[in-house]
Chains A and B, each alone.
Chain A
Amino acid sequence: MKNFIFEIKEGLLISLKAIRANKARSVLTTLGIIIGVASVVLMSTAIKGIDQSFQQGVASLGSDNLYIDKWAWFDNDIPWWEMRNRKNITMEDFKAYKDLAKLPISVAPSANSQRTVKYQERSVQFVSITGTDYNYINTTNLSFDEGRFFSELESNGGRSVVVLGSEISKKLFPQGGPMNQLVKIGGNRFKVVGVLEEQGSWVMGNWNPDNQVYVPIQNIFKYFVSRHSNSITLNVRAENSQMVEATKEEALGIMRRVRGLKYNEKNDFSINQQEGLLTNINQTVGVIQIAGLLITGLALFVGAIGIMNIMFVSVKERTREIGIRKAIGATRRTILGQFISESAIICLIGGMIGLAVAIIGSMVIAQFDFPVTVDIDAVILAFTISLITGILSGLAPAYTAAKLDPVDALRYE
């Protein structure tokens, strides 16, 4: 054992010397590994960022929520035409449900439309307008940058008040001061009573509260869509995650009653859950992960081939040196260790530089609001893959060197 450690130590010293002796070549060879490791680390941190951002986005919507809707969001088992033929869920359904339901801590209706939102010369097109009531805020985890959500009074009276998502507020009021200003939504004036705090989950697109505005639901039906042709969603918040199932069971019973379904009739509504969204997200992230790692893995593989190639050249060039070492007592194992540690060191150095490149790269990318941070996992990843790459790509050339015949090697010119 002591002898083995000794051999490793001596092998490393010999290798460092050899690497220093072939600077230009070592640098060029290392480049392949630098690129490979940098791309693997960047990709894995980016995927992590995407994943976190999805989770964060879902969390901002509230994870103990149920959404009673005409449509099943993530269920592909029910044919779309069957769902299309369902009766709309109406405000009356909402009121009936709200009266009967005991378990939810908060219930709110919501209806959506897309309109252009304007303030003076500035405008944002295709903004998702959510119409809802004052309870809506209690079904989410949203918090405020300025102001408040609309009050019970404003909500019940269907006043022209609006709460802006942070991104919309930034676009319309780059200088700040949005409170109490009048913005035009689809040509109608609304007073700003609140601005939401930034959620920052860029992946959610229009789903992201940052890109939405909220108005009392009556305005949606008054200005934007017909009350009769549009189905609403019931946003239901359970008390906690343990209560989600019970709340769901209760909702199922109440809704069947409200909708007047007979015992043998199928549900003409769906109860959607974050779980479905999460499953969907995990699938998406999984695909990105596999594709991303495959591509970056390829870059690393090319780098590894580069190392292997240069190690073969190195073995060929140093045939005589190997002969000398063997003649004066180096065993096969020593020579094997020497060349493997040489390629491992090249790869490790490359891996560390690649890690540095990835850290700089992630800082640059972070400037564009893409959530990437290189953490300790990435450092371990870079260290491990470069070491493994080094050992694997050094294996074949080192074996060639180790089994050289000393007599032939000494005669080699």
Chain B
Amino acid sequence: MTSGVRTDRATAVTANALGGGEVVFLASSSPSAWTARFEDAAIFDSDVAAEAALSAAAASDFKVVDAYLIALDNSAGVWTPLSLRERIRALGPTTEPQLGPQARGGRVVEALQAADSAARSSGRIRLIRRR
């Protein structure tokens, strides 16, 4: 990262899968892959890099709906979405812990559940609106 850029902030790319509707993230495993596991999401150190990856992913066979960038926070030592809205998307409903990705548990899920950073409004970066 260049100097002056906060090292506790980064960006991920999220969407919903077209056919199943589940929350997905651009994956770190390969350039155009999507994953339902937030812990396997690609972490980009700039919005520009994230946008480029999103453009490249358009060619993927796996179709998604309403893709957008989300801000991540690393103040607790684990990358988590900055906004509560995006943490709920990554986990599942807070009132139904047995449902959604949170059901499988693990270190990242616990970190997401414990995170208390907020900022819904700043959590989505240049949301691609499709009306």
Do chains A and B interact in one complex?
Answer: no
